Amino acid sequence: MVSRRRGRQSSDLTAKLLAAFAIVPEGGPEYVEAARVKNVCLGKGLNVSGVDCLIAACAITGNHELHAVDEDFEAIARHAPLRLFRGHHAA
């Protein structure tokens, strides 16, 4: 009984935390941008994953800041118009 309640509480907390973030769909423009990002990175000698490029492309095309701790996104941002979330902005 206690385990089931904890599972439900954890699920509720996860849902509340995720509600604060935008869910960004992908489509044709994002795939094209991902390919462009991948090619730019390869041209600079960076071997970043296609999935990371697609995530970056979704943020780029949607004009979103990406919150990530993966160093690959730091590298992508040096060569593509990817904006990374750096913390709280001054109001």
- List domains and CATH numbers for the chain: 22-84 (3.40.50.1010)
Above 60 in pLDDT, residue 74?
A: yes
Above 50 in pLDDT, residue 19?
A: yes
Q: What is the pTM of this model?
A: 0.75
Q: Are 73 and 39 in contact (CB under 8 A)?
A: no
Q: Write down the pLDDT at residue 1.
A: 45
Burial class of residue 71 (count of CB atoms within 10 Å of its CB; 0-12, 13-18, 19+): exposed
All residues at 6 or more sequence positions from 2 whose CB lies less than 8 Å from its CB, including other chains: none
Q: Write down the pLDDT at residue 66.
A: 93
Report, as an integer, the average pLDDT of 2-20. Answer: 75
